[in-house]
Amino acid sequence: MERPAPGEVRMSQAIQPAHANPRGELSAGQLLKWIDATACLAAEKHAGVSCVTASVDDIQFEEMARVGQVITIKAKVTRAFSTSMEISIKVIVQDMLTGIEKLVSVAFSTFVAKPVGEEKIDLKPVTLLTEQDHMEHNLASERRKVRLHHEDTFKNLMKENSKFEDPICDEEEGMVPTSGTSVQSIELVLPPHANHHGNTFGGQIMAWMETVATISARRLCRAHPLLKSVDMFKFRGPSTVGDRLVFNAIVNNTFQTCVEVGVRVEAFDCQEWSEGQGRHINSAFLIYNAVDDKEELVTFPRIKPMSEEDFRRYRGAIARKRIRLGRKYVISHKEEVSLCVHWDISNQGTLSNANVEALQNLAARSGWQVTSVVEKIKIYTLEEHDILSVWVEKHVERPAHVAYHLLSDFTKRPLWDPHYVSCEVIDWVSEADQIYHITCPVVNGDKPKDLVVLVSRRRPLKDGDSYVVAVKSIILPSVPPSPQYIRSEIICAGFLIHAIDSSSCTVSYFNQISASISPYFAGNLGGWSKSIEETAASCIQFLENATEDGLINIF
């Protein structure tokens, strides 16, 4: 293993049976304790004073670690603000027999410096040595904006969710009342549970929260819950040795193969305990998958809210899921493996048919969930493993054949889509297939992006079929990447246009989001932007007002 980078703190632990759950896997609670301790030490190394945990963002668990393996936790400050710091955390597991290393988890913590007495502190900036340091430093600013706007975004999405048709009204067999998943536990804070500041160790509180959340998830699924991610531990106040900590956990909602469990922590000193008046010190939302004895993913039963508070939590889980979708792309940065195919004129038919078939298969998948409804526009999302797709459905007062004619000519796309600066035809391969070079605007201060795409068009073969406009990136040697742009990729996208009657149609736009184009979608999916709705409305206006040659009719 390479030497630690300057400012980086590392902790290595051999996983013992005492650290494991009944399946022989490292307990998520134990890992959370190690993560918090390592992050705290990294913060204090930079600040030079005591630091405390303010929050932990979206901890993602990618791989399980087992007894006998070795965990290494790497933590370093990515950016320092006036009194707070963001800490990047990466967890690696190594099998000592094979030497193979795997990524277990990534997370970001926020720590606040706590100087002694009345002393004021202004944290020094982080020294940036590598390109990765600069990238994380820039992303830290975006992540901070997400954190600061989280409460407002959540409230706005809760208002928006209240407009949806309520899916809970559809009773189905096997629904489980929310109350059946409720768990309460209590812990007395003893000296071993305290950190070096005398307060209850944040990692210990997170570990206790994980324990009650796991019990709650298990009551629902009757299988083996696996913690997949944690949606922002937020520390609202301290607790000390002698406090009684009461943990309440309950399942808020289920989403096919995952479930959200909410945990609330209240602290009581002796007097507060006798009066029944506690202090709300922590909240978190933990996301679980579950597997059966054959290690196959379990589909969770639907939850049946019973009380007004149950319904609030149910809708809150839907809002948080949407925020997670958007936040996912600013919380971490993943390198993308290109899926582009090389263009080969001799294989044109196969490539064109594969382009169309991929779009039709994406549209036919099950599990699409509505995330936004605005007048003529509906937005759906689909999560499959680590892949996110978006479906935007628009009702247009224009014949389907006209909408197809206008949308299949990509040179007209900049007229209504602000994400496209230019679309130039490189090769008119045939009436059904064209190759375009597309340029996009600057996002988040980066260089503008460009794409080379194959657009494959199909008219309906019979009544009831849809018009198809499929889009996929290709590699064309005659248009190599330019230093002026960041070459990006469309994995699978396009339009399906279905006639409603002779004068109106439904236009459905699909996009399987790649990492390179995710910045254009993240804000909208997370709820702090309306760019998709605005673009869809612009598309509707263009289709309903344009002549068949693409000119806008202003009369």
- pLDDT digits over 109-130, tens only? 999 998 877 778 889 999 888 8
316 and 341 fall within a common domain: no
461 and 426 fall within a common domain: yes
396 and 533 fall within a common domain: yes
293 and 354 fall within a common domain: no
What's the pLDDT score for residue 27? 93
40 and 77 fall within a common domain: yes
Q: What is the mean pLDDT of residues 270-296?
A: 93
108 and 1 fall within a common domain: yes
Give residue 146's pLDDT band: very low, low, confident or very high (50, 70, 90).
confident
Distance between CA atoms of 261 and 409, rounded to whole angstroms?
47
Whether residue 75 is predicted with pLDDT greater than 80 in this model: the reply is: yes
Residue type, 18: A
Q: What is the mean pLDDT of residues 26-39?
A: 94
465 and 377 fall within a common domain: yes
Final residue in a domain of this structure, among 331, 357, 379: 331
Which H helix or E strand runs over 203?
A: helix 202-221
Give the Å distances, CA to CA, from 340 to 336, 351, 426, 472. Answer: 11, 11, 17, 8
| Containing structural domain, residue 316 | 176-331
Predicted confidence (pLDDT) per residue in 393-444, tens digit: 999 999 999 999 999 999 999 999 998 999 999 999 999 999 999 999 887 6
**Which sign, positive or negative, has the C-alpha torsion 478, 483, 489, 495?**
negative
Q: What is the mean pLDDT of residues 513-537?
A: 68
Whether residue 169 is predicted with pLDDT greater than 50 in this model: the reply is: no
Q: Is residue 551 part of a domain?
A: no
Better-scored residue on pLDDT, 160 or 503: 503
295 and 271 fall within a common domain: yes
Give residue 98's pLDDT band: very low, low, confident or very high (50, 70, 90).
very high
Backbone angles phi, psi at 306, to 5 degrees: -115, -35
Q: What is the mean pLDDT of residues 94-101?
A: 93
What's the pLDDT score for residue 333? 47
What's the pLDDT score for residue 331? 52
What's the pLDDT score for residue 502? 93
Predicted confidence (pLDDT) per residue in 155-165, tens digit: 777 776 665 55
Looking at every residue in the chain, the average pLDDT score rounds to 87
Which tokens is 222 given?
């009757």
- Choose from 168-177, 220-229, 508-517 the range with maximum mean pLDDT: 220-229
Distance between CA atoms of 518 and 334, rounded to whole angstroms?
11
Q: Is residue 166 part of a domain?
A: no
Whether residue 555 is predicted with pLDDT greater than 50 in this model: the reply is: no
Whether 359 contacts 493, CB under 8 Å: yes
Distance between CA atoms of 400 and 406, rounded to whole angstroms?
10
Cα atoms found within 13 Å of the Cα of residue 113, Cβ hemisphere only? 25
Residue type, 137: H
Q: Is residue 205 part of a domain?
A: yes
Q: Is residue 201 part of a domain?
A: yes
Q: Characterize 145-170 residue by residue with b for buried, 16 or more Cβ atoms within 10 angstroms of its Cβ, and e for exposed.
A: ebbeebeebbeebbebbeeeeeebee
Task: Output the CA torsion 127→128→130→134 (10° steps).
Answer: 160
What's the pLDDT score for residue 346? 84
Give residue 516's pLDDT band: very low, low, confident or very high (50, 70, 90).
low
Query: What percent of the chain has pLDDT above 90?
Result: 56
CATH number, position 464: 3.30.530.20
For 300, other C-beta atoms within 10 Å of its C-beta total 23
Q: Is residue 85 part of a domain?
A: yes
Q: What is the mean pLDDT of residues 482-501?
A: 93
345 and 323 fall within a common domain: no
Q: Which of 539, 279, 246 is nearest to 396 (CA)?
A: 539
Strand blocks (E) in 269-358 = 279-291, 303-304, 341-342
Final residue in a domain of this structure, among 331, 358, 374: 331
Q: Is residue 378 part of a domain?
A: yes
Distance between CA atoms of 529 and 239, rounded to whole angstroms?
37
191 and 257 fall within a common domain: yes
What's the pLDDT score for residue 335? 47
Distance between CA atoms of 332 and 455, rounded to whole angstroms?
31
305 and 352 fall within a common domain: no
Q: Which of 492, 493, 482, 495 is nearest to 450 (CA)?
A: 482
Q: Is residue 170 part of a domain?
A: no
Q: What is the mean pLDDT of residues 264-281?
A: 94
Whether residue 190 is predicted with pLDDT greater than 50 in this model: the reply is: yes
Distance between CA atoms of 260 and 314, rounded to whole angstroms?
9
Give the Å distances, CA to CA, from 77 to 3, 8, 46, 128, 133. Answer: 17, 8, 7, 10, 10
Beta strand pairing call for 303-304 and 176-177: parallel
End-to-end C-alpha distance for the chain, whole angstroms: 69
Better-scored residue on pLDDT, 345 or 538: 538
Beta strand pairing call for 176-177 and 183-188: unpaired
Whether residue 326 is predicted with pLDDT greater than 70 in this model: the reply is: no
What's the pLDDT score for residue 524? 56
Distance between CA atoms of 256 and 226, rounded to whole angstroms?
15
Going by the DSSP 8-state scheme, the letter that residue 54 receives in this structure is E
Three-state SS at 68: coil
What's the total number of domains in the chain? 3
Which H helix or E strand runs over 472?
A: strand 467-475
The residues, ordered by sequence, that sit 6+ positions from 114 with a Cβ below 8 Å of its Cβ are: 49, 50, 51, 52, 197
382 and 508 fall within a common domain: yes
Predicted confidence (pLDDT) per residue in 377-392, tens digit: 998 888 776 678 899 9
Q: Is residue 553 part of a domain?
A: no
Whether residue 268 is predicted with pLDDT greater than 50 in this model: the reply is: yes
